[in-house]
């Protein structure tokens, strides 16, 4: 069995089908290797993201970054931000910093699996290649009704019931082998 066949499914494989729209980035490309800026031990900076073509009726957005290949049994949440106003269709590079610069007023950022309320870059175990799923959700409500103390799993649970559309970029990163 190939390594590709052993990889866990992507997180949206379990969600109801919704409208697709487009997310673009100056920093992340579909199927490409993440730049050093998005690596934990290097730049540790959230990428620039912009989106278009989302469904009518969108009242807010959420953005997440998830590693389904983490050796945890439940993946690894690198970033989760929601209640982004519907008028905002771009986040600049570094918006996910813990200083909340670049995030629009009202946006809520929750703790990632590093235990911090910011973007945490790629950091797979040595010699492993992981996928990083950057997702923008078009949401049917202005507020999800949860706060910054929610876990990314609770954010995902609420998004499952309020998502009108979804756009994603999947990039990869392989940590250098020890040696």
**What would the pLDDT profile of 79-127 be if each residue is shown by its tens digit?**
999 999 999 999 999 999 988 788 999 999 999 999 999 999 999 999 9
Closest Cα partner for 22 from 54, 61, 63, 46? 54
CB of 161 closer than 8 Å to CB of 139: no
Residues of the chain with pLDDT under 70: 1-5, 179
pLDDT reported for residue 6: 80
> CB under 8 Å, gap of 24 or more: what pairs does 112-117 form?
112/77, 112/78, 112/79, 112/80, 112/152, 113/70, 113/72, 113/76, 113/77, 113/78, 113/152, 114/40, 114/78, 117/148
What's the domain count of the chain? 1
For residue 179, being part of any structural domain is answered with no
For residue 12, being part of any structural domain is answered with yes
* pTM, rounded to two decimals: 0.94
Instruction: Give the CA-trace dihedral at 150, 95, 13, 158, to 10 degrees.
Output: 30
Question: Which CATH number goes with the domain that contains 139?
Answer: 3.90.280.10
Range of the domain at 9: 3-174
Neighbouring residues of 26: CB distance < 8 A, sequence distance ≥ 6: 47, 48, 93
For residue 88, being part of any structural domain is answered with yes
**Tokens (6 digits) for 124:** 């797979």
For residue 169, being part of any structural domain is answered with yes
pLDDT reported for residue 145: 96
pLDDT reported for residue 1: 38
Neighbouring residues of 115: CB distance < 8 A, sequence distance ≥ 6: none
């Amino acid at each position: 069995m190939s390594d590709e066949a052993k990889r866990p499914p992507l997180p949206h494989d379990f969600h109801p089908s919704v409208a697709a729209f487009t997310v673009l980035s100056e920093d992340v490309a579909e199927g490409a290797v993440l730049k050093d800026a998005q690596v934990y031990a290097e730049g540790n900076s959230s990428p620039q993201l912009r989106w278009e073509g989302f469904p009518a009726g969108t009242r807010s957005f959420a953005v997440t970054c998830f590693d389904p290949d983490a050796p945890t049994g439940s993946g690894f949440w690198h970033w989760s931000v929601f209640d982004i106003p519907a008028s905002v269709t771009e986040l600049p590079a570094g918006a996910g910093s813990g200083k909340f610069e670049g995030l629009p007023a009202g946006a809520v950022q929750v703790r990632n699996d590093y235990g911090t309320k910011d973007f945490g870059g790629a950091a797979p175990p040595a010699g492993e290649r992981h996928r990083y799923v950057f997702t923008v959700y078009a949401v049917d409500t202005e507020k999800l009704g949860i706060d910054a103390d929610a876990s990314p799993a609770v954010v995902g649970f609420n998004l499952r019931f309020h998502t009108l559309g979804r756009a994603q970029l999947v990039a990869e990163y392989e940590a250098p082998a020890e040696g």
